[in-house]
Amino acid sequence: TTAVAALAVGASVLFGAVSAQAQDTKKFTIALIPGLTTDAFYITMRKGAEAAAKAVGAELVFQGAPDFNPVQQVPVLDAVIARKPDAILIAPTDKTQLVEPLRKAADAGIPVITVDTFIGTGQYQTGSGDADFPLSYIASDNVLGGRMAARSLAKAVGEKGKVYVSNVKPGISTTDQREQGFKDEMKNFPNITVLDTQFNDNDANKAASQLQSVYARNPDLVGVFGANLFSALGAANGVQQAGQSGKVKVVAFDAPTSIVDNIKGGLVDIAIAQHPAEIGYFGVMAAYAHLTGQSIPTAIGTGFTVMDKSNIDNPDVAKFIYQN
Ligand code: T6T
């Protein structure tokens, strides 16, 4: 009997090992839904996500809409849920409008992690029950980013004069927080007046014409903060079209190659580059950790690199220019 028992133990150890290995080699499918597909920020995020997926042997599915809005994003999300991936990473395009569509994923047992933007308050797993069901939020500190932009712009304009924020639309967590941080920080500069925010709906052409109208109404305009890639690009183009290159200072959020060209050409003073590849990488790693039974942090903060003429050719800085 002892020999039989030993054999049985041996077999169960063996089977245990086999099933553990089978579990280890299960190929997880992780979906990444960006804010929109044709944005160097999300294209770069995808590269980081793919690197992480490769490292853990997961499959990454990248599916998104052509424009940044909930009307287009929700059907993409529904289609992804129908494919039953093991986890969903998503940059929700609206703090409130994506709550119920994402709850469907959570109710279907699909873990949800938000990257870049958040839903609700962005504080997850608190037991509030409203929009706290995502497991983790992986992103830049956007309030801090807005404060950094304000300090840079204040310095560039000699701490006085009229400035404004070129922004996308209210309801997007990232750009709302950048504007918030910017305005809070500007309270430290009593000689700077922050004019009304101009909302461009993520359309660079609209941002450019808004710059020209604001300038026409305020010929003493000294600066503009472009709160995301398209806002910044459009505002910079508007400054150029108004013939004010170098006179109306531009601080840009995000760092596509076009903004880098504008830094080199003197149109843009500073770009605050996010680290989208880092967001994608840690997003996939967090999903994988959860799927393999590890606990994960409810928030992971990623970095910034501030780019200007003086450092843009430094490889340690240039590696954060967004990819196409
Ligand atoms: O600024 C990024 C992103 O952080 C934001 O949520 C939306 O706009 C960008 O994708 C840039 O276009």
Span 74-111, pLDDT tens digits: 999 999 999 999 999 999 999 999 999 999 999 999 99
Going by CA atoms, what residue is nearest to atom 10 of ligand 1?
41
- The residue-averaged pLDDT of 48-68 equals 98
Going by CA atoms, what residue is nearest to atom 1 of ligand 1?
228
Is 304's pLDDT higher than 80?
yes
Q: What is the pLDDT of residue 4?
A: 46
CA gap 42, 214 in Å, rounded: 30
Return the closest-CA partner of residue 186 out of 225, 214, 221: 225
Find the 185 Cα to ligand 1 centroid distance in Å.
Answer: 21
CA gap 84, 78 in Å, rounded: 10
In this prediction, residue 302 has a pLDDT band, given cuts at 50, 70 and 90, of: very high
Q: Is the CB of 44 under 6 A from ligand 1?
A: no
Going by CA atoms, what residue is nearest to atom 12 of ligand 1?
229
Find the 254 Cα to ligand 1 centroid distance in Å.
Answer: 7
In this prediction, residue 37 has a pLDDT band, given cuts at 50, 70 and 90, of: very high
Q: Report the phi/psi class of residue 84: left, alpha or beta, with left for phi > 0 and alpha for psi in -120 to 50.
A: left
Number of H helices, E strands in the chain: 11, 13
Is 287's pLDDT higher than 60?
yes
CB-based contact 103:22 (threshold 8 Å)? no
Q: Is the CB of 177 under 6 A from ligand 1?
A: no
Return the closest-CA partner of residue 138 out of 324, 321, 305, 296: 296
Going by CA atoms, what residue is nearest to atom 11 of ligand 1?
229
Ligand 1 pocket test target in 115, 254, 322, 323 with most atoms within 8 Å of CB: 254
Find the 36 Cα to ligand 1 centroid distance in Å.
Answer: 9
Mean of pLDDT over the chain? 94
Is 20's pLDDT higher than 70?
no
Find the 108 Cα to ligand 1 centroid distance in Å.
Answer: 28
Lookup: tokens for 155: 């310095």
Contacts of 138 (CB under 8 A, 6+ apart): 113, 114, 115, 116, 279, 282, 283, 286, 299, 300, 302
**DSSP assignments along 255-277, one per residue:** --HHHHHHHHHTS-SEEEEE-HH
82 burial type by CB count under 10 A (0-12 exposed, 13-18 middle, 19+ buried):
exposed
Q: What is the pLDDT of residue 24?
A: 56
CA gap 168, 229 in Å, rounded: 10
Q: What is the pLDDT of residue 16?
A: 46
Ligand 1 pocket test target in 38, 41, 200, 251 with most atoms within 8 Å of CB: 41
Q: Is the CB of 199 under 6 A from ligand 1?
A: no
Q: Edge-to-edge strand order for the sheet containing 112-115? A: 59-62, 29-33, 87-90, 112-115, 136-140, 299-302
Whether ipTM exceeds 0.95: yes
In this prediction, residue 26 has a pLDDT band, given cuts at 50, 70 and 90, of: confident
- The residue-averaged pLDDT of 61-80 equals 98
| Tens digits of residue pLDDT in 106-141 | 999 999 999 999 999 999 999 999 999 999 999 999
Q: Is the CB of 197 under 6 A from ligand 1?
A: no
Q: Is the CB of 322 under 6 A from ligand 1?
A: no
Q: Is the CB of 174 under 6 A from ligand 1?
A: yes
Higher-confidence residue: 17 or 166? 166
Amino acid at 158: G
Q: Is the CB of 35 under 6 A from ligand 1?
A: yes
- The residue-averaged pLDDT of 199-207 equals 98
Q: What is the pLDDT of residue 291?
A: 98
In this prediction, residue 25 has a pLDDT band, given cuts at 50, 70 and 90, of: low
- The residue-averaged pLDDT of 7-22 equals 46
DSSP 8-state secondary structure symbol assigned to residue 160? -
Going by CA atoms, what residue is nearest to atom 5 of ligand 1?
174
Is 13's pLDDT higher than 70?
no
Higher-confidence residue: 21 or 167? 167
Closest atom, ligand 1, to C-alpha of 230? 12
Is 324's pLDDT higher than 60?
yes
Closest atom, ligand 1, to C-alpha of 228? 1
| Tens digits of residue pLDDT in 215-252 | 999 999 999 999 999 999 999 999 999 999 999 999 99
Q: What is the pLDDT of residue 23?
A: 54
Q: Is the CB of 86 under 6 A from ligand 1?
A: no
